[in-house]
Amino acid sequence: MSWQTKSSLLVPNFVQEGDIAFKTNRFADAVAFFQMVVSLDPDHSVAWKGLGDSLTRLRQWGDAEKAYVRTGTLVGLGESPIDNLVQYGDLLVRMDKVADGMTALQLSVRLDPSFAPAWTAYGNALTARGDVLEAGGAYAEAVRLDPDSPDANVSYGAWLLIQDSNDLLAEPYFERGIAQELSHPQNEDAGPWLFQKIVAAYWSVGHLESAITWNRRAMAQYPDHFVPYYMAGLTAMRQQEYGVAVQWLTQSLVRNDRNPDTHEALAEAYDHLQMSDQARVEREMARQLRGAARP
C-alpha cells in the first residue's frame, strides 16, 4: 500500500480533527487539518468549506474566497442557494471588492426580497460604497422582515446612532439584537462581533463612555473571547493611553494569538511608547499571519 493510499485513509480523521479545532476556536489548527485533507482529496467539498470558514474566522478574506470557490461553486457556504449568495457577497465586501459584492447582494435581494439577511448584508455593502442613506433603508427593511434578527437590529441601531448621534434611538435596537443573540446564539463568534459593531458605532460619534460600557458588557459575557480585549485595547489607544492598550491587546493575544489585526494594533501602541523592537516583532507577526495558511 502506497504512502498516498495510506494517507488517504486518514482523511475522515483529519476532517474530524479540523471540525473539533474549529469548534474550539483553534482556527489556525483547523486550517492545517483541512489543508491536509484537500491536498489528499482536492474535491473534498466539506474540507474546502471548513477551510473557508476557518480562514474567515482568521479574517484572511482573500484566502477564504479561494477556498469557497475552489471547485467553481459556492458549495457549503450557507443553508440555501440565496444564503450562499449573501455570504459570498458579504465576504467580497469585507475583502474590499465592494463592486463585486454589491452585484451578488443586489441579485440576492431581487431573487428573494423576503430574506432579511440579504437586506442586512446589502446595507453593509451600501455603507462600504458610501451610500449611507440608502443603507438605512436596507437595514430598516431587514428589521421589518425579521424583528428578532440580531444582525439586523444591531446594524440598524448602529446606522441610527451614526446618523443622529442619538443614543435613545439606537439603544432599543442594540438591546434587542444582543438579547436575541444571547437567547439563540448563532455561533461562538457572532455575539462578540455584534458587540464590536456597537462599540465601533459609539467610537464613530465620539461617545467613548458608551463604547467602554458596551465593551465591559461584552467582556463580562464573553470573558474567554479575544474580541472584547482587542476592542478595549483600541479604545485605550483612542484615549492615548498606550500602556493600557498594550495590556488589553496582550490579553487579547492570550485568547487568540492568530489575529493579525491585534498584532498590528499592538505594534502601533508600541510605536507610541517608542518601543521600536517590540513594534517590529508584532508587525512582522501580523505580516506572517496575513500571508500564512494559503490554500
On whether residue 96 sits in a domain, the answer given is yes
Residue 55: give its domain's CATH number. 1.25.40
Last residue of a domain, one of 125, 146, 167: 146
pLDDT tens-digit series, residues 239-287:
999 999 999 999 999 999 988 999 999 999 999 999 999 999 999 999 9
> Which of 32-36, 150-154, 187-191 shows the lowest per-residue confidence on average (mean pLDDT)?
187-191
C-alpha distance across the termini of the chain, in Å: 28
Pair (103, 131) in one structural domain: yes
Task: For residues 160 and 86, give the distance between their C-alpha atoms in angstroms, rounded to a whole number.
Answer: 23
Q: Residue range 179-193: average pLDDT?
A: 90
Task: For residues 260 and 285, give the distance between their C-alpha atoms in angstroms, rounded to a whole number.
Answer: 7
Longest dimension (CA), the chain: 69
Written as nine digits, the cell of 176 is 434587542
* Type of residue found at 162: I
Hey, CA dihedral for 17, 23, 26, 30, is it positive or negative? positive
The parent domain of residue 38 ranges over 1-60
DSSP for 54-105, please give it: HHHHTT-HHHHHHHHTTTSS-TTSSSSHHHHHHHHHHHHHHTT-HHHHHHHH
Residue 134: give its domain's CATH number. 1.25.40.10
Q: Is residue 8 very low, low, confident or very high in pLDDT (cuts 50, 70, 90)?
A: low
Torsion angle, CA of 249/251/256/257, rounded to 10 degrees?
60
